[in-house]
């Protein structure tokens, strides 16, 4: 049996090697790089296979790296004339990649800005400069409210649709022991997870504010709306009737997975790991609206771009590949394999997708989502974490803590945009 | 040419030939990156683009940064709490373990075990111990006795000692072994002479054991000081969601360097911090060597 396997393997290797050589004879080979995440690699393998079938004269070689090494490798390879022709990057890194001349704009004849403006969800316009797009996503992510069905049932409440309902629902599911220690939270809280996005692009806008102005170069949340949003957020975990606690069960997603939290705000990328959690019955709904129906959401995405290394026939092949990975077909495959949402309403808002009980709430959220342009996402998140900590650990007032956070964040933005323009 | 050399000259040639290997190794692995880091500290670089010269900008920014001073202070708190505590505890353990015959090897193994455990795994286990109700071991125990919860990692005052405790415990095994080796190296005859003279055991400890252990103590102090000044894995793993928090109260210099370099991608600023850390380590080690050297 073992012998047979070895033999079969040898034959298979030989045939595939032969196939490789025969096509490689006249084919253009382009390289595609992304960071390693199992589902993304799988989805890309499918896309590459489909693409190569349609374009037999082009082969695409995919290379992937651990996330931690990704930036360093890309930065070292492209200037040396090595590495990818098409590269994947986080939307927030675009400025750095453009400034370092690692990527080139997409050709306007194949990707006219007016057409992309029309076809893609509006937040993708962050990738546009003048009349040209630098990069385009295959898929996008947004936030939604996860709920634990068992806990809702036990408390006899329904999934909330407004912020007030959310608080009431969470209260109904909060449990304490005899000494008043929380043993089950109605809702998770913690700026370290996704809440800082919810606060920035969700709550502040819902309370009538605008978190940033000047194309995200100026902090604007030190305002009435910002303060209201912060007070609302802090009310979740302060006071005697708190429905949550920062650091409860270490991490918000851990508490939700363990069935000790009723409600939890998280991104579409969490779906996979929740599906793998045994014994957890969960559902998901859109982020709660205000009483007058105002909604707002946050969206982020990874994009693909053509590097400055691609020239001549490789460039033409790279353009074709970009066309394919931003096509409707590619987006549907990405949704089915990775669970990330299509970047075009024409694919996302199909009847089947938008009424999907799991993806639907996220896809609906895209219609009113905003994308923060971060200079240093983890640094800026840290400021939100500290804004809350100053209130909970040092008893600082919300006004003062908010204005300190705004000032510190402005400093990060100023430093970044001043050095980027040099 | 080689043939015409004298035997002594030939020996020198061979000595250099052999010495060249470690010298080459050290130049490439140690000195070149060190020199490069010093160079980068005078530049601005985000890993992607070109490096540009900025003079002393990174250092000016560093000394004006309140977070840096907070972190600098934390680093020394780790050192000033960690080194003496671990030194005293490990000496006491080694001193008594040295006299114990019952299950000596087994006990020694128990003390050494934490040193062999992965710091990451250990930090995560302790992180869970420290959690509030309902997951934390310590707080569950307190709550079941009706005592209010203790905010181990959620307090700006107690987070640093809470992080430091497992770090001390982890390094203890190594120090105990070194101390025991030092104790064994003291000639028995001194103790016998002291016993004949009828000296108290307290005097034996102060007048014979400790003075003769001085080289061992110097080694351990220098070694553990460098370790505590470079503390990173325990802090990072116990506070990953909010690295160095709450409110930077546990952040050591190495963690600040890591964040500046690999999440802010400000390599120049990170390199400037590295140079400062290097100087601190150098000065602290030199002072300790001088103070503890035989006068």
Structure confidence at residue B294 (pLDDT): 62
Question: What's the ipTM?
Answer: 0.84
> Which range of residues forms the domain containing residue B188?
65-292
Inter-residue contact A238 to A392 (CB < 8 Å): yes
Q: Which tokens in the block code for residue A7? A: 């033999």
> Domain A143-299+375-420 belongs to what topology?
D-Maltodextrin-Binding Protein; domain 2 (3.40.190)
Closest CA to A359 of A69, A149, A141, A112: A141
The DSSP H or E segment spanning B179 is helix B159-185
Total tally of structural domains belonging to chain B? 1
Handedness of CA A18, A19, A22, A25 (dihedral sign): negative
Q: How far is B281 from chain A (nearest CA, A)?
A: 27
SS3 A83: coil
* Chosen CATH of A24-141+300-369 out of 3.40.190.10, 3.30.420.40, 1.20.120.530, 2.20.25.10: 3.40.190.10
State the average pLDDT over residues A233-250: 92
Cα B238 from Cα B233, distance rounded (Å): 8
Cross-chain Cβ contact A183/B128 below 8 Å: no
Same fold, A24-141+300-369 and A143-299+375-420: yes
Structure confidence at residue B134 (pLDDT): 87
Task: Give the pLDDT band of residue A26 (cuts 50, 70, 90).
Answer: low
At B73-127, the pLDDT tens digits run: 999 999 999 999 999 999 999 999 998 888 888 998 999 998 898 999 999 999 9
Cα B126 from Cα B163, distance rounded (Å): 9
pLDDT at residue B292 greater than cutoff 80: no
The domain limits of chain A are 24-141+300-369, 143-299+375-420
Residue B38 located in a structural domain: no
Cα B74 from Cα B79, distance rounded (Å): 9
Cα B47 from Cα B271, distance rounded (Å): 12
At A125-183, the pLDDT tens digits run: 889 888 899 999 999 999 999 999 999 999 999 999 999 999 999 999 999 988 888 99
A151-157 CB contacts, 8 Å cutoff, 24+ apart: A151/A184, A151/A259, A151/A262, A152/A262, A155/A262
Handedness of CA A95, A96, A100, A102 (dihedral sign): negative
Q: How far is B246 from chain A (nearest CA, A)?
A: 7
Q: How far is B135 from chain A (nearest CA, A)?
A: 6
Structure confidence at residue A420 (pLDDT): 54
Inter-residue contact A37 to A30 (CB < 8 Å): no
Phi (first) and psi of residue A32, to 5 degrees: -125, 130
The DSSP H or E segment spanning B175 is helix B159-185
CB-CB neighbors (< 8 A) of B134 in chain A: 181, 183, 249, 260
**Any idea which residue has 């385009």 for tokens?**
A136
- Bridge partner list, A64: A34
Closest CA to A319 of A141, A60, A77: A60
CB-facing half-sphere around the CA of A360: CA atoms within 13 A: 10
Q: Which residues of A185-203 are buried (b: 16+ CB within 10 A; e: fewer)?
A: bbbbbbbbbbbbbbbbbbb
Residue among A101, A247, A379 whose CB faces B154 most closely:
A247
Task: Give the pLDDT band of residue A15 (cuts 50, 70, 90).
Answer: very low
Residue B267 located in a structural domain: yes
CB-facing half-sphere around the CA of A369: CA atoms within 13 A: 33
Residue B259 located in a structural domain: yes
State the average pLDDT over residues B244-258: 93
End-to-end CA distance of chain B: 50
Phi (first) and psi of residue B209, to 5 degrees: -60, -55
Pair type for strands B52-53 and A103-104: unpaired
CB-CB neighbors (< 8 A) of A102 in chain B: 48
The DSSP H or E segment spanning A133 is strand A132-133
Inter-residue contact A115 to A344 (CB < 8 Å): no
pLDDT at residue A14 greater than cutoff 80: no
Structure confidence at residue A21 (pLDDT): 47
Give the residue from chain A lying closest to B44, CA to CA: A419
Cross-chain Cβ contact A99/B247 below 8 Å: no
Give the residue from chain B lying closest to A394, CA to CA: B156
State the average pLDDT over residues B62-83: 95
Give the residue from chain A lying closest to B262, CA to CA: A68
Structure confidence at residue A422 (pLDDT): 44
Task: Give the pLDDT band of residue A12 (cuts 50, 70, 90).
Answer: very low
Alpha helices in A327-397 (DSSP H): 328-338, 345-348, 351-354, 360-366, 377-394
Neighbours of B3 (CB within 10 A): 5
Cα A123 from Cα B81, distance rounded (Å): 51
- DSSP code per residue over A196-217: HHIIIIIIHHHTT--SEETTTT
SS3 A180: coil
Q: B79: domain CATH number? A: 1.10.3720.10
Residue B12 located in a structural domain: no
Task: Give the pLDDT band of residue A22 (cuts 50, 70, 90).
Answer: very low
Q: What percent of chain A has pLDDT above 90? A: 66
Structure confidence at residue B133 (pLDDT): 86
Q: What contacts A296, CB < 8 A, 6 or more positions away?
A: A201, A202, A203, A205, A206, A287, A368, A369, A370
At B128-151, the pLDDT tens digits run: 999 998 889 999 999 888 888 899
SS3 B135: coil
Cα A108 from Cα A117, distance rounded (Å): 13
Peptide bond into B134 cis (omega under 30): yes
CB-CB neighbors (< 8 A) of B46 in chain A: 96, 100
Neighbours of A87 (CB within 10 A): 26
Cross-chain Cβ contact A183/B52 below 8 Å: no
Residue B138 located in a structural domain: yes
Cross-chain Cβ contact A192/B241 below 8 Å: yes
Cα B243 from Cα B259, distance rounded (Å): 9
Closest CA to B169 of B215, B202, B123, B222: B123
Q: How far is B115 from chain A (nearest CA, A)?
A: 26
Neighbours of B13 (CB within 10 A): 11
Cα B249 from Cα B65, distance rounded (Å): 15
Structure confidence at residue B75 (pLDDT): 95
Structure confidence at residue A129 (pLDDT): 86
Task: Give the pLDDT band of residue A262 (cuts 50, 70, 90).
Answer: very high
Task: Give the pLDDT band of residue B291 (cuts 50, 70, 90).
Answer: confident
SS3 B170: helix
CB-CB neighbors (< 8 A) of A378 in chain B: 259, 263-264
What does each C-alpha distance from A197 to A82, A192, A370, A392 come to in angstroms? Answer: 36, 10, 10, 20
Segment among A17-26, A288-297, A401-410 with least mean pLDDT: A17-26
Cα A163 from Cα A287, distance rounded (Å): 9
More confident residue, B105 or A233: A233
Q: Which residues of A362-400 are buried (b: 16+ CB within 10 A; e: fewer)?
A: bbbbbebbbbbbbbbbebbbbbbbbbbbbbbbeeeebee
State the average pLDDT over residues B25-32: 92
SS3 B130: coil
CB-CB neighbors (< 8 A) of A75 in chain B: 47-48
- Bridge partner list, A223: none
CB-CB neighbors (< 8 A) of B155 in chain A: 393
At B191-213, the pLDDT tens digits run: 999 999 999 989 999 999 999 99
- Bridge partner list, A59: A29
């Amino acid at each position: 049996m073992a012998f047979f396997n070895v033999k079969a393997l040898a034959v298979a290797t030989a045939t595939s090697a032969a196939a490789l050589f025969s096509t490689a004879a006249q084919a253009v080979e382009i390289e595609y790089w992304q960071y390693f995440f199992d589902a993304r690699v799988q989805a890309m393998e499918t896309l590459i296979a489909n693409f190569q079938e349609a374009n037999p004269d082009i082969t695409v070689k995919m290379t992937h790296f651990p996330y931690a090494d990704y930036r360093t490798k890309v930065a070292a390879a492209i200037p040396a004339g090595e590495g990818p022709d098409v590269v994947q990057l986080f939307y927030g890194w675009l400025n750095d990649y453009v400034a370092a001349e690692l990527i080139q704009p997409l050709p306007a004849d194949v990707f006219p800005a007016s057409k992309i403006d029309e076809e893609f969800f509006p937040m993708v316009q962050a990738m546009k400069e003048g009349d040209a797009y630098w990069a385009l996503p295959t898929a996008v992510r947004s936030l939604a409210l996860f709920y634990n069905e068992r806990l809702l049932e036990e408390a006899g409440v329904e999934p909330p649709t407004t912020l007030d309902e959310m608080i009431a629902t969470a209260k109904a599911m909060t449990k304490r022991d005899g000494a008043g220690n929380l043993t089950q939270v109605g809702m998770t809280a913690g700026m370290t997870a996704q809440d800082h996005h919810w606060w920035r692009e969700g709550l502040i806008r819902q309370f009538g504010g605008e978190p940033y102005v000047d194309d995200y170069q100026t902090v604007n949340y030190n305002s009435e709306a910002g303060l209201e949003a912060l007070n609302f957020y802090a009310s979740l975990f302060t006071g005697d009737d708190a429905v949550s606690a920062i650091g409860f069960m270490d991490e918000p997603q851990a508490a939700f997975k363990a069935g000790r939290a009723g409600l939890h705000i998280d991104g579409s990328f969490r779906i996979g790991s929740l599906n793998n959690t045994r014994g957890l019955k969960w559902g998901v709904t859109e982020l709660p609206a205000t009483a007058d129906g105002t909604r707002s959401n946050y969206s982020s995405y990874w994009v693909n771009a053509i590097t400055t290394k691609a020239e001549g026939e490789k460039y033409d092949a790279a353009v074709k590949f970009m066309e394919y990975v931003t096509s409707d077909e590619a987006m549907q495959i990405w949704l089915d394999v990775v669970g990330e949402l299509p970047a075009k309403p024409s694919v996302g808002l199909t009847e089947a997708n938008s009424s999907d009980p799991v993806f639907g709430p996220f896809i609906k959220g895209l219609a009113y989502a905003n994308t923060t342009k971060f200079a240093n996402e983890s640094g800026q998140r840290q400021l939100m974490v500290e804004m809350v900590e100053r209130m909970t650990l040092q008893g600082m007032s919300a006004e003062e803590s908010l204005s300190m956070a705004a000032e510190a964040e402005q400093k990060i933005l100023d430093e970044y945009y001043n050095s980027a323009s040099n | 040419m080689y043939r015409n050399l004298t035997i002594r000259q030939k020996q020198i040639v061979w000595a250099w030939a052999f010495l060249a290997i470690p010298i080459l190794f050290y130049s490439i692995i140690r000195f070149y990156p060190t020199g490069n880091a010093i160079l980068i500290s005078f530049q601005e670089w985000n890993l992607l683009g070109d490096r540009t010269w900025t003079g002393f900008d990174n250092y000016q920014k560093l000394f004006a940064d309140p977070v840096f001073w907070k972190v600098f202070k934390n680093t020394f708190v780790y050192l000033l709490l960690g080194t003496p505590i671990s030194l005293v505890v490990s000496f006491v353990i080694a001193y008594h373990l040295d006299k114990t015959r019952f299950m000596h090897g087994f006990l020694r193994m128990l003390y050494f075990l934490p040193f062999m455990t992965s710091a990451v795994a250990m930090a995560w286990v302790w992180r869970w111990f420290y959690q509030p109700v309902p997951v934390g071991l310590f707080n569950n125990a307190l709550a079941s006795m009706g005592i209010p919860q203790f905010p181990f990692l959620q307090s700006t005052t107690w987070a640093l000692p809470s992080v430091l405790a497992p770090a001390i415990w982890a390094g203890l095994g190594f120090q105990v072994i070194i101390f025991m080796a030092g104790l064994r190296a003291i000639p028995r005859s001194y103790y016998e002479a002291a016993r004949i003279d009828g000296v108290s055991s307290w005097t034996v400890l102060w007048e014979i054991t400790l003075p003769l252990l001085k080289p061992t103590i110097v080694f351990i102090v220098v070694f553990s000081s460098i370790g505590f000044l470079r503390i990173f894995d325990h802090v990072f793993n116990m506070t990953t969601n909010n690295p160095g928090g709450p409110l930077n109260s546990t952040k050591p210099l190495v963690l600040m360097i890591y964040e500046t370099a690999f999440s802010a991608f400000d390599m120049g600023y990170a390199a400037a911090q590295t140079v400062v850390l290097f100087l601190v380590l150098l000065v602290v080690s030199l002072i300790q060597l001088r103070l503890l050297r035989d006068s």
